[in-house]
Structure 1
Amino acid sequence: MSRIAILTPDPADQSYARDWPVILKRVSDALSATGAEVTPEPWTAHVEDGAGLAGYDLVLPLVVWGYHRDHARWMQACASWAAAGVAIANPARVLSWNSDKAYLRELADAGIAIPPTVFADRVDAAAVDEALARFGAPVIAKPTVSGGAWKTLKLTASDDLSAAPDGAAMIQPYLSAIEDGELSLLYFGGRLSHAVLKRPAAGDFRIQTQFGGDHVFVAEPPAEAVALAGAALAAVPEPLLYARVDMVRDPALGWLLMELELIEPDFYLVHDPAAGAGFARAVSERLA
């Protein structure tokens, strides 16, 4: 019997205590088809030394919610897991690279279409003014190390910046296309599994459920979106067990990559017609 660990949040972090066990159960139920023994492990218990994870046949960092608020330790953990030879998927190098949205600049340099972006050392008046001059108002500012729309703001020239994120950030034009929804394509073992459209609540721009967003199944994602997802995934120089590709279609610019989620994406298995069978298959292939 294979032993699989699923990494979970720090037990002391109660921010997501009501929600992450639901995601853990969905993934664990999907993996039951492989006959594996699944064990939850807090990622924060294995930061300095990866030896405690080295005994597992596979480690999946699928519920490490909150790592963005402890990013230095996350980077240390990824290095520890790589040094200990932990069988982790996605690979530890991918987990560290994908944890900072500066990776989008690398993908853009590789020819992947992303929204026009100002990468700034901090969100201050000068950076906002530069973005407003380039894009018009409003703009969206977010930390490059973030998750779940954490510290993400919609700004105009007159807005108070006291709540702006600290440190490196990205500032983009507000894309009204987000009001029609953000398309997510889910890939397991390099194969497209299913697609979901995530829509914000009326009057909001954040598509997360905690802000009133909702998700609906998409039976046939557009071919252009699938092509963009394929190009983005091909630009990652590491083998991937799973991926979620988030994008929007701008009327003027076409399909744009918003995020390449390779750490702890929600797979939206509740909308997966195969109920996670594709993920279980990819895991079985990885274990083999």
Structure 2
Amino acid sequence: MTRVAILTPDPAEVAYPDLWPKVLARLQRALDGAGIDAMPTPWTAHVDDVSALRGYACVLPLLAWGYHHDAARWQRACATWQREGLPLANPARVLAWNTDKRYLRELAAQGVAIPPTAFVDALSQAAVEQAFADSGADELIAKPAISGGAWKTRRLRRGDVIDAMEPMPMLLQPYLPTIGTQGETSLLYFDGRLSHVVNKRPLAGEFRIQEEFGGQYALVAAPPAGALALAEQVLRAVGEPLLYARIDMLPDADGRWLLMEAELIEPDFYLAVDPAQGAGFAQTLRRWVGAGG
């Protein structure tokens, strides 16, 4: 039987105690069906020494949730994995690059449509007021450049007083009301091929679409043409061999699709609404391992 490792949260991580085991169980069921034995192991156990991972055909960082809480150690781990030639999917260099959401600036420079975004070194009253002035928006979303699961993500209104926050690079983007009316759409790709499409909508009055905030997920039979074109443009711009990718996007008020994030590290595949229940990913992984990545 093919053996792979799935990197899981640090044992001290307290942010996702109930959610990640459910996601792991769905993955393991899918991989079991393809004759793949998936062993969970905390990513923090392999930061400087990869010897315990040497026997696996592939290492999947799919549940390394919470890495943003210890970003320096995570980047050190990525450097170690790249140096040691660990059979990671996706490559360690991609993981390191995708860690910091300022990659959006690089993709935008290649013509990928993103929301108007101010990249600032820290959240401050002056930075927020400048972003309001530049964007003309009535509300902003402020998110850390290194984050996950809407960690420390805030919705700001004109006139809000910005309280002191730990200095960290931030992204400031206009709040797009279409998140409430049309939701965010995710296109799931396995080895460059579209697998399934999921629409995610927040609860009324909420702007976060994650499951822990009550987000509702539904399968989309076929992606809108504009969404599909944007997702494939993003993959071309990334230009790396990817076993998996989740491309998250949102239409603006004019119907133009905008990239919110390219999730290339530890995306939930939303297998609960995948008609194949992960069988497509499992078969893709078997081919990937057989071809040596």
Same fold (TM over 0.5): yes
Partner of 1:246: 248
Q: Structure 1 residue 28: deviation in Å?
A: 1.0
Q: Is the 8 A contact 2:144 2:171 kept in 1?
A: yes
Q: In structure 2, how many angstroms separate the alpha carbons of the residues matched to 1:5 and 1:209?
A: 25
With 9-18 and 159-168 compared, the bigger mean Cα shift is at: 159-168
Counterpart of 1:122 in structure 2: which amino acid? A
Partner of 2:84: 84
Q: In structure 2, how many angstroms separate the alpha carbons of the residues matched to 1:119 and 1:253?
A: 24
- Change beyond 3 A, Cα 1:199–1:165: farther
How is 1:86-101 mapped onto 2 (pairs within 5 angstroms)?
86-101=86-101
Q: Deviation digits for residues 44-69 of structure 1, max 9, x if unmatched?
A: 00011222212211000011110011
Q: Structure 1 residue 252: deviation in Å?
A: 2.6
Q: In structure 1, how many angstroms separate the alpha carbons of the residues matched to 2:226 and 2:283?
A: 26
Partner of 2:213: 211
Partner of 1:73: 73
Q: Is the 8 A contact 1:78 1:95 kept in 2?
A: yes
Q: In structure 1, how many angstroms separate the alpha carbons of the residues matched to 2:96 and 2:119?
A: 19
Q: In structure 1, how many angstroms separate the alpha carbons of the residues matched to 2:40 and 2:214?
A: 29
Q: Is the 8 A contact 1:68 1:147 kept in 2?
A: yes
Q: In structure 1, how many angstroms separate the alpha carbons of the residues matched to 2:264 and 2:142?
A: 22
Q: In structure 2, how many angstroms separate the alpha carbons of the residues matched to 1:185 and 1:114?
A: 16
Q: Structure 1 residue 163: deviation in Å?
A: 5.8
Q: Is the 8 A contact 2:192 2:244 kept in 1?
A: yes
Partner of 1:137: 138
Q: In structure 2, how many angstroms separate the alpha carbons of the residues matched to 1:125 and 1:163?
A: 9
Q: Is the 8 A contact 2:125 2:161 kept in 1?
A: no
Counterpart of 1:139 in structure 2: which amino acid? L
3-state SS in 1 of match to 2:223: coil
3-state SS in 1 of match to 2:111: coil
Counterpart of 2:233 in structure 1: which amino acid? A
Partner of 1:112: 112
Q: Structure 1 residue 287: deviation in Å?
A: 0.9
Counterpart of 1:43 in structure 2: which amino acid? W
Residue 182 (structure 1) aligned with residue 200 (structure 2):
no
Partner of 2:278: 276
Q: Structure 1 residue 253: deviation in Å?
A: 6.1
Q: Deviation digits for residues 86-121 of structure 1, max 9, x if unmatched?
A: 100000001111010000000000100000000001
Q: In structure 2, how many angstroms separate the alpha carbons of the residues matched to 1:144 and 1:15?
A: 18
Q: Is the 8 A contact 1:245 1:261 kept in 2?
A: yes
Partner of 1:263: 265
Partner of 1:167: 168
- Change beyond 3 A, Cα 1:96–1:123: same
Q: In structure 2, how many angstroms separate the alpha carbons of the residues matched to 1:177 and 1:211?
A: 18
Q: In structure 1, how many angstroms separate the alpha carbons of the residues matched to 2:219 and 2:167?
A: 36
Q: Structure 1 residue 165: deviation in Å?
A: 5.6
3-state SS in 2 of match to 1:193: strand
Q: Structure 1 residue 259: deviation in Å?
A: 0.4
3-state SS in 1 of match to 2:141: strand
Q: Is the 8 A contact 1:50 1:77 kept in 2?
A: no
Gaps of 5+ in 2: none
Q: Is the 8 A contact 1:151 1:164 kept in 2?
A: no
- Change beyond 3 A, Cα 1:163–1:253: farther
Counterpart of 2:230 in structure 1: which amino acid? L
Q: In structure 1, how many angstroms separate the alpha carbons of the residues matched to 2:239 and 2:106?
A: 12
Partner of 1:155: 156
Select which of 223, 227, 232 maps to 2:234. 232
Gaps of 5+ in 1: none
With 172-181 and 49-58 compared, the bigger mean Cα shift is at: 49-58
3-state SS in 2 of match to 1:65: coil
Q: In structure 1, how many angstroms separate the alpha carbons of the residues matched to 2:166 and 2:228?
A: 33
Q: Is the 8 A contact 1:142 1:151 kept in 2?
A: yes
Q: In structure 1, how many angstroms separate the alpha carbons of the residues matched to 2:179 and 2:165?
A: 21
- Change beyond 3 A, Cα 1:158–1:232: same
Q: Identical aligned pairs, as a percentage?
A: 57
Residue 198 (structure 1) aligned with residue 203 (structure 2):
no
Q: Is the 8 A contact 1:142 1:165 kept in 2?
A: no
What's the TM-score, normalizing by structure 1?
0.97
Partner of 2:58: 58
